[in-house]
Amino acid sequence: MRIAIVGGKGTLGGHVTAELARRGHDVRVLSRSGEYHVDLSTGDGLADALQDCDAVVDASNASSPKRAQAVLVEGSGRLLAAEAVAGVAHHVCISIVGCDQVPVGYYKVKVGQERVVEQGSTPWSIIQATQFHELAASALAAAARFLVLPVPGMKLQTVAAAEVAGAVADVTEGAPARGRIRVAGPQIMTAAEVARTWRAVTGRRALLMPVPVPGRLGRALRSGGLTVSRPDICGNISFADWLASQPQDGAAGSAGPGAKAQG
Ligand SMILES: NC(=O)c1ccc[n+]([C@@H]2O[C@H](COP(=O)([O-])OP(=O)(O)OC[C@H]3O[C@@H](n4cnc5c(N)ncnc54)[C@H](OP(=O)(O)O)[C@@H]3O)[C@@H](O)[C@H]2O)c1
């Protein structure tokens, strides 16, 4: 298949690109700095980049809610319009487990993105993933520079981006699900357990600092709004094992490529 991967050099997109290429597909990396230059916030380059593509994986991202609205919601509209012209048969959207449960600006944008995809004319699949190990590690590494690890009362179920990429590749090769596929990590942990694990494996010193999260947001996070007890696809690599496999001055020990991203 010829598959376009928007954001194909990002934290997840890089793994998706590698996995689909390994499986023998003809992959095109689309982004502002990709081999196919596109900008979802304007639509530049999409028409040419999507010519003759069978499927599109949208692994783009943006950090601020305003940019995210332009890239993920309005950008999905632009992407789907270009797909309709190019005759793309399958649009694969990457979203987040529980984005409709947890009242955070970025997650509201993700819900908006899902809605645009559901209403688009290209047959679709939505893969909802939990937070990547990469995101947790880079957030903790950034905080540890100040010798503290802020730990809100919340549950997490982080997963290796490489394992999510395997699921994305499987879904992309298959028929459009016209539904959601939830991919999650092997363990549900509190944020404090994640922080202690990070400290133990990296050997870094930092004090855990509980952060109260009041109101509806706090309740949603504490009750596991970002986790799923029975995911459709469950990763095998624990946060501790993933961390131990990373160079400690690389993704696990400093802000990695997804450092400013959200998920
Ligand atoms: N990170 C997580 O923990 C997590 C968890 C669950 C789901 N997700 C979802 O997974 C997706 C990918 O997240 P990620 O963390 O892998 O993202 P990321 O590492 O920040 O990569 C984002 C990619 O998007 C591209 N991009 C940004 N703005 C663009 C634009 N205007 N036009 C075209 N491409 C653009 C970037 O390339 P250029 O800068 O070259 O344009 C980059 O390749 C997102 O939808 C996110 O919500 C993430």
Tell me the pLDDT tens digit for each residue of 166-198: 999 999 999 999 999 999 999 999 999 999 999
Residue nearest to atom 23 of ligand 1 (CA): 7
Distances (CA, A) of 103 to 111, 127, 182, 215, 221: 11, 20, 19, 10, 9
pLDDT computed for residue 260 by the predictor? 46
Q: Read off the tokens for 172.
A: 């992309």
Q: What fold characterizes domain 2-244?
A: Rossmann fold (3.40.50)
- Atom number in ligand 1 closest to CA 39: 32
Domain definitions of the chain by residue range: 2-244
pLDDT computed for residue 63 by the predictor? 84
Tell me if 98 sits within 8 A of 228, measured CB to CB. yes
What one-character DSSP code corresponds to residue 207? E
User: With bands split at pLDDT 50, 70 and 90, how would you rate the model's confidence at 261?
Assistant: low
Tell me if 116 sits within 8 A of 73, measured CB to CB. yes
Residue nearest to atom 25 of ligand 1 (CA): 7
| Residue-wise pLDDT tens digits, 121-142 | 999 999 999 999 999 999 999 9
pLDDT computed for residue 107 by the predictor? 96
CA max distance for the chain: 54
Residue nearest to atom 36 of ligand 1 (CA): 7
Distances (CA, A) of 26 to 18, 23, 69, 175, 176: 11, 9, 30, 18, 19
Q: Round the CA-based radius of gyration of the chain to a whole number and report it.
A: 18
Tell me if 55 sits within 8 A of 3, measured CB to CB. yes
Q: Which residues contact 115 (CB under 8 A, 6 or more apart)?
A: none
Mean of per-residue pLDDT scores for the chain:
94
Percentage of the chain beyond pLDDT 70 is 95
CA of 181 from ligand 1 middle (Å) equals 19
| Residue-wise pLDDT tens digits, 33-87 | 989 999 999 999 999 999 999 999 999 999 888 899 999 999 999 999 999 999 9
pLDDT at 263 over 60: yes
Mean pLDDT of 89-107: 97
pLDDT at 244 over 90: yes
CA atoms within 13 A on the CB side of 66: 0
Its pTM stands at: 0.95
- Counting every residue written for the chain, the total comes to 263
The answer, yes or no, to whether any atom of ligand 1 lies below 6 A from the CB of 157, is: no
